[in-house]
Amino acid sequence: MGSFLNRERVISIVCIAFAGWVYYEAGKFPTSILDTVGSTRYPRFLAIVIGIASAFHFVLSNVESKPIGGGREYKSLVLLAAIIFGYLFFMPRVGFIAATIPFLLALTCHFDKRDWSEKLKIAIPYSVIFTIAMYVFFGKVLGVLLPGLGILGG
């Protein structure tokens, strides 16, 4: 990316666009005779702060952006998102225990890079024992509301 439209300037443009959107949307709020200030002024004030700070950032970011350090495990991130989506979809339907065991198993099996036989020896007891321990500790000892047992009948 060239030094004019570098990463930092793209970020500034996104922030300015966000500030513009907040400013515009805030203008749509109805006014009330009961409140002399109205619902609009404060969000517009915030939009102006974000907009001005972003504009300054745009102006000051006139050098080539340094690459961001660290690895780039896109696949792992997408897979993690998919596993969480699945967990959140199934948890209210099948209950905490029935959803959490496969959730932990899927996570540990994917991210543990050892041989299958070796990792399953830890992953299976970990998923089962940890889930039940958490259910008992939070659900029964602390009285926290956890998703019911669902299809396991709770």
Residue of 2, 34, 63, 153 that binds another protein (CB under 8 A): 34
Torsion angle of the four alpha carbons 87, 93, 95, 99, in this order, in degrees rounded to the nearest 10: -30
| 123 CB-contact burial (10 Å; exposed 0-12 / middle 13-18 / buried 19+) | buried
Q: By CB neighbour count within 10 A (0-12 exposed, 13-18 middle, 19+ buried), where does 35 fall?
A: exposed
- Residue 63 lies near another protein (rule: CB under 8 A): no
Is 154 a binder of another protein (CB under 8 A)? Answer: no
Binding site for another protein (CB under 8 A): 7, 11, 15, 22, 25-26, 29-30, 32, 34-39, 41-43, 45-47, 49-50, 53-54, 56-57, 60, 68, 70-74, 76-77, 80-81, 84, 87-88, 91-92, 96, 100, 103-104, 107-108, 111-113, 122, 126, 130-131, 134, 138, 142-147
